[in-house]
Amino acid sequence: MPAILRGISSNTMAAMLKLFILLVLQLTISCNSEPFPINVWPIPTSISWPSPKATTISPAFQISALYAHKHLRAAVKRHESLLFSEGYQPIVPPSLPISPTPLLSLTLHITDTQAPLHHGVDESYSLTISSSNGVANLSSTTVWGAIRGLESFSQLSWGNPPLIATDLYIHDRPLFPHRGLMLDTSRNFYPVEDIMRIIATVGANKLNVFHWHITDSQSFPLVLPTEPKLAAAGSYGPDMQYSQEDVKKIVDFAMSYGVRVVPEFDTPGHSLSWAGAYPEIVTCANQFWLPNGPSDRAHRLGAGPGTGQLNPLQPRTYEVLHNVFNDSASLFPDPFFHSGADELNPLCWSSDPSIQSFLSSGHNLSQLLQRFISDTHPFLVSLNRTVVYWEDILLDSTIQVPSSLIPPSTTILQTWNNGINNTKKLVGAGYRVIVSSADFYYLDCGHGGYLGNYSAYDASPEHTSWCGPFKTWERIYDYDIVEGLTEKEKVLVIGGEVALWSEQADGTVLDGRVWPRAAALAESMWSGNRDENGRRRTAMATDRLMDWRHRMVGRGVRAEPIQPLWCRRNPGMCNFNA
């Protein structure tokens, strides 16, 4: 059975589908350079709408989902109420014939309600809305596919009272199983409501991973049951902490959006904040980061201000870490656990007396990291976790571990340097890879540096941030993360994440930094950045992204505008090439 028909339960459905599949082959959206009157973001893999038409939604409309699944139930309830409360007014109002039969129901057909929300779970769905009998059907293998379909359904409605696109068929499934956003909550704090709004919007964009970079050198905001001192002494304060209840609420909320929460405790680098509670396990804690000034960067004590690394030689380090990992495993059910391991600083370790004697006995810094990983990697695996690290653990030129310590079967690497080249290196070594290339996917870049007393602003007219320029939505959308890889290597690229490092972001500006740029990632990871002829569809996506941003704003997300409104009202007129 072709993948496209998987998960369809009844014979009548199957017959109907076959008819529609024929239509899909004849007419897809990519044939038009103007978008459909109403669209779904990310654009579905295939959508067929041979005679665009709308229908009213009956006040008695119901979503029928006879499954006792609490996350599905929450999603259904949310969409039922959104349908009548959203009142979305498209920038260009769709002008469509209205079917005389109002839509009465949407019925969900799920074949496997037990599949957990894990990496690689089937997220495909098929949606039909029919004007002839006023019913819609949503079929999927899993609850998570159904949640994707509900979102598409909701994006097909507009107006007040609401209308919905009808006589349309969608079959949809993601290109990449891992589609995420990383948020750093250590440099600056984000309230729980901000995180929940982000996760809801992540789900609405069919992104499925919220990679939560919880801790770093600047603060340790998470209150852990067995290590409460870490947050007590390491957070920015009692009003800038996440409690266990907060985390449970966030994880549960995320599931109802089909979003996994992958926690990251960045270790053994980026760990100054651990020193509040346990000064003895942190080397070079809270030193000035550039002791010999900017001209001697080789002798820096951290990649940036906020120095401190966990000491792999101190037994207490592992006691604390095991508690943290145990707590984390019970708070975060996801089978992925991110352990950091980026930007280890040689001098921060080698300047510590206990480490000096280790080094003088013929060891090197890589062996020091190996000692750390030899303990923590198996420990995390014993918690039934796949361990995710930043690429540095393998590719750093000074401090790295051999692949044998981090077997590809239990390890995933996240790349951020050197574009496609590092991706290639990592998949070449057999690892599954998450792509977060700083040249494409770093949302904080191009905003200037945050360092103080920096005379570059007096002198250099060209100074941007280290990873500038700003990554536009087009830059993100256009990045081909598997370009130049062999078919076997491609399979190892499990997806991508845009990343927001928070030196210069917090709740005040969060939405605008993330949206709609993360939406550009969402579409390229879900259905790709090319049309059926293999041509980039970036230009065509512009109007649709304007619409989707407009819709997100209406839903309470302060997404930034990408063009004057005039451009959407005058399709094509704001292009470079007519």
Is residue 535 a contact point for a copy of itself (CB under 8 A)?
Answer: no
Residue from 92, 446, 530, 531 in contact with a copy of itself (CB under 8 A):
446
CA distance 516 to 548: 8
Is residue 504 a contact point for a copy of itself (CB under 8 A)?
Answer: yes
Instruction: Compute how many residues bind a copy of itself; rule: CB under 8 A.
Output: 79
Beta strand residue intervals within 219-366, DSSP E: 260-267, 282-283, 309-310, 336-340
Residue from 378, 402, 407, 572 in contact with a copy of itself (CB under 8 A):
572
For the CB of residue 100, give the shortest distance to a copy of itself in the complex, in Å.
Answer: 30
Nearer Cβ to a copy of itself (145/306): 306
Is residue 323 a contact point for a copy of itself (CB under 8 A)?
Answer: no
Q: Which stretch binds a copy of itself (CB under 8 A): 20-28, 182-190, 326-334, 352-360?
A: 182-190
And the tokens for 487? 């078919």
Residue from 219, 411, 436, 527 in contact with a copy of itself (CB under 8 A):
219
Nearer Cβ to a copy of itself (42/305): 305
CA distance 366 to 81: 56
Is residue 90 a contact point for a copy of itself (CB under 8 A)?
Answer: no
Q: Please, are residues 61 and 103 in contact by the beta-carbon 8 Å criterion?
A: yes
CA distance 260 to 76: 18
For the CB of residue 515, give the shortest distance to a copy of itself in the complex, in Å.
Answer: 9
For the CB of residue 212, give the shortest distance to a copy of itself in the complex, in Å.
Answer: 17
Is residue 474 a contact point for a copy of itself (CB under 8 A)?
Answer: yes
Q: Taking CA 4 as the corner, what is the angle to CA 544 and CA 488, rounded to the nearest 5 degrees?
A: 90
Phi, psi of 431 (to 5 degrees): -90, 150
Strands 209-215 and 168-172: unpaired
Residue window 290-309: x/- pattern of binding to a copy of itself, with contact defined by CB under 8 A: xx-xx----------xx---
Of 86, 151, 343, 497, the active-site residue reads 343
Nearer Cβ to a copy of itself (408/571): 571
Residue from 296, 402, 469, 491 in contact with a copy of itself (CB under 8 A):
469
Contacts 24+ apart (CB under 8 A), 487-492: 489/424, 489/427, 489/428, 490/427, 492/426, 492/427, 492/430, 492/431, 492/432, 492/433
Nearer Cβ to a copy of itself (100/452): 452
Nearer Cβ to a copy of itself (119/544): 544
Task: Quickly list DSSP for 151-206.
Answer: HHHHHTEETTTTEEEESEEEEE--S-SEEEEEEE-SSS---HHHHHHHHHHHHHTT
For the CB of residue 309, give the shortest distance to a copy of itself in the complex, in Å.
Answer: 16
Nearer Cβ to a copy of itself (172/216): 216
Residue window 337-376: x/- pattern of binding to a copy of itself, with contact defined by CB under 8 A: ----------------------------------------
Contacts of 529 (CB under 8 A, 6+ apart): 477, 478, 479, 480, 523, 536, 537, 538, 541
Q: Which amino acid type is present at position 20?
A: F
Q: How far is CA 126 from CA 146, 446, 517, in A?
A: 9, 40, 27
Q: Please, are residues 570 and 543 in contact by the beta-carbon 8 Å criterion?
A: no
Is residue 578 a contact point for a copy of itself (CB under 8 A)?
Answer: yes
CA distance 417 to 421: 8
Contacts of 370 (CB under 8 A, 6+ apart): 401, 402, 405
Q: Please, are residues 553 and 88 in contact by the beta-carbon 8 Å criterion?
A: no
Is residue 449 a contact point for a copy of itself (CB under 8 A)?
Answer: yes
Is residue 464 a contact point for a copy of itself (CB under 8 A)?
Answer: yes
Is residue 194 a contact point for a copy of itself (CB under 8 A)?
Answer: no
Is residue 463 a contact point for a copy of itself (CB under 8 A)?
Answer: yes
Q: Quick count: other Cβ atoms within 10 Å of Cβ 500? A: 24
For the CB of residue 477, give the shortest distance to a copy of itself in the complex, in Å.
Answer: 8
Q: Which stretch binds a copy of itself (CB under 8 A): 51-59, 64-72, 350-358, 496-504?
A: 496-504
Q: Which stretch binds a copy of itself (CB under 8 A): 144-152, 164-172, 216-224, 381-389?
A: 216-224
Nearer Cβ to a copy of itself (36/473): 473
Q: Which amino acid type is present at position 518?
A: A
Nearer Cβ to a copy of itself (182/290): 290
Is residue 558 a contact point for a copy of itself (CB under 8 A)?
Answer: yes
Q: Which amino acid type is present at position 255?
A: M
Nearest CA among 484, 487, 476, 377 for reference residue 423? 484
Residue from 457, 490, 491, 532 in contact with a copy of itself (CB under 8 A):
457
Active site (annotated) includes residue 343: yes
Is residue 450 a contact point for a copy of itself (CB under 8 A)?
Answer: yes
Q: Which stretch binds a copy of itself (CB under 8 A): 56-64, 72-80, 198-206, 452-460?
A: 452-460
Q: Which stretch binds a copy of itself (CB under 8 A): 100-108, 143-151, 166-174, 499-507?
A: 499-507
CA distance 550 to 565: 10
- 26-45 positions binding a copy of itself, by CB under 8 A: none
Known catalytic residues are 343
